[in-house]
Structure 1
Amino acid sequence: MTTVRDGHDVDATYNEHDVLVTGPKREAAGVKAVLVSMQRGVQQMGPLRTAETLSRINQRHGFDCPGCAWPEEHGGRKIAEFCENGAKAVAEEATLRRVTPEFFARHSVADLADRPEYWLSQQGRLTHPMMLAPGDTHYRPIDWDDAYALIAEELKALSSPDEALFYTSGRTSNEAAFLYQLLARSYGTNNLPDCSNMCHESSGTALVESIGIG
């Protein structure tokens, strides 16, 4: 049993071992999906931030949903241009919950390694750059200038730019990913894997071996 404590003193208890398997649902969308989307949004973002954020998903002057890569037409947009999973993904990204340096002071790396992934994702967004020095058991905060200096030092120490991998999240916004790849190419490499690429290369290889196509 794991107790989640976020920056707003809200406690919720989760047990990933108590998964209940039922028969297929009779519907996959509808009123219930809307209510669940709103509930998750309000829990993570509050009512005002939920209304503001959900109204901008996949809009022409908003932002692309991080939930998937479903293409949208260039014409008119509906008021709600997202699915239930997209709303959940945005709520987790735009959450008001914050992970401060005090959180890492309480939880060692070994402790965090034993936590469920869902528990980790529900703690919130980082407020400071964090680093794990050799021999440390806890992450500790570092200033932005020191963080950039450390990254620059490591990159300058490489014998070739191709020794560096500029790894990104598959849920990174298009704008952030575009700027990141410009940095990598300016540095001199096109080693730009993301989490989707890394995950599906292995599954694609396994599918080729098992059924003949990835």
Structure 2
Amino acid sequence: MIDKMPDHGFKTAQPRAQPPEETELVQIRPLSKSAGGVPAIVSAVKSAWNEMGPVRGLRTLLKLNQQGGFDCPGCAWPEPDEARSHAEFCENGAKHVADEATTKRVTPEFLSRWSVADLSYKSDYWLGKQGRITSPMVLRRGATHYEPVTWDEALELIAGALNLLAHPDEAIFYTSGRTSNEAAFLYQLFVRQFGTNNLPDCSNMCHESSGWALTETIGAGKGTVTLEDFELAQAIFV
């Protein structure tokens, strides 16, 4: 079972600062002759089936990068403005969506069995494969396990921490790149009402330098090309 109890041979007293690097399953093999084809299709379908089930998986993938659907969270590949294929995505994009839309759940019961220290001995991949958290959780000072709280309790804890700050600028408000426009609007409204503009977006983590350079060069912090531009370009840098 995926959620079996720790098997590292001893009861951990302190959490690890970083998750372990698991190399025992790494295999070195000859390079594949292609990066797509039937194996890629099989791998994408398998991921969607395992994480979402056949019906939910098919419905989700058919909306990926489609008009009236949603953008793939995997990369910034520009989909065509006109006609699009039914599968306007790659193998990794399908896997990324399957991981985001998984039906697996991390319940309070799961977190009551696993201490924070024990979880710290699991890889990021393993942790992600357990599923999505279903309710607000808190790790209290001195505790070894997360415990569930109501939304009212969670918001009270957040408000208490914010109200202890000497100045609103001591807080930084960060959120997910998957946040809807409506939720993001309300979030920034709350932050500015609180009194600060410390709202770094998710691109600050991985796109800060290139975004700054693009803004200085072309006036926008992201790419402006279309697929058709590749046919007209005299040089392409990867």
Calculate the TM-score normalised by the size of structure 2.
0.72
| Aligned counterparts, 1:36-185, within 5 A | 36-170=43-177, 172-173=178-179, 175=181, 176-177=183-184, 179-185=186-192
User: Residues 199 and 128 from structure 1, CA distance in 2 versus in 1: closer, same or farther, beyond 3 angstroms?
Assistant: same
State the secondary structure of the residue aligned to 1:35. Answer: helix
- Deviation, 1:133, is 0.6
Q: Which residue of structure 1 lines up, in the alignment, with residue 221 of structure 2?
A: none
Calculate the TM-score normalised by the size of structure 1.
0.80
| Whole-angstrom distance in 2 between the partners of 1:153 and 1:105 | 25
| Whole-angstrom distance in 1 between the partners of 2:185 and 2:105 | 26
Q: How many residue pairs align between the two structures?
A: 193
| Whole-angstrom distance in 2 between the partners of 1:34 and 1:91 | 14
Q: Which residue of structure 2 lines up, in the alignment, with residue 4 of structure 1?
A: 2
- Deviation, 1:49, is 0.5
- Deviation, 1:195, is 5.2
**What CA deviation, in whole Å up to 9, does each residue of 1:101-135 have, x standing for no partner?**
01111100100111111110000011111100111
| Whole-angstrom distance in 2 between the partners of 1:141 and 1:98 | 14
Identical columns (%): 55
User: Residues 63 and 182 from structure 1, CA distance in 2 versus in 1: closer, same or farther, beyond 3 angstroms?
Assistant: farther
Higher mean C-alpha displacement, 27-36 vs 185-194: 185-194
| Bigger Cα Rg | 2
The structure with the greater share of residues assigned to strand is 1
| Whole-angstrom distance in 2 between the partners of 1:195 and 1:115 | 25
| Whole-angstrom distance in 1 between the partners of 2:32 and 2:180 | 34
User: Residues 24 and 132 from structure 1, CA distance in 2 versus in 1: closer, same or farther, beyond 3 angstroms?
Assistant: same
| Whole-angstrom distance in 2 between the partners of 1:149 and 1:166 | 17
User: Residues 186 and 141 from structure 1, CA distance in 2 versus in 1: closer, same or farther, beyond 3 angstroms?
Assistant: same
| Whole-angstrom distance in 2 between the partners of 1:108 and 1:77 | 47
| Whole-angstrom distance in 1 between the partners of 2:194 and 2:56 | 38
Equivalent pair of 1:161/1:187 in contact (CA under 8 Å): yes
| Whole-angstrom distance in 2 between the partners of 1:99 and 1:35 | 27
User: Residues 60 and 36 from structure 1, CA distance in 2 versus in 1: closer, same or farther, beyond 3 angstroms?
Assistant: same
Equivalent pair of 1:108/1:137 in contact (CA under 8 Å): yes
RMSD: 2.5
State the secondary structure of the residue aligned to 1:49. Answer: helix
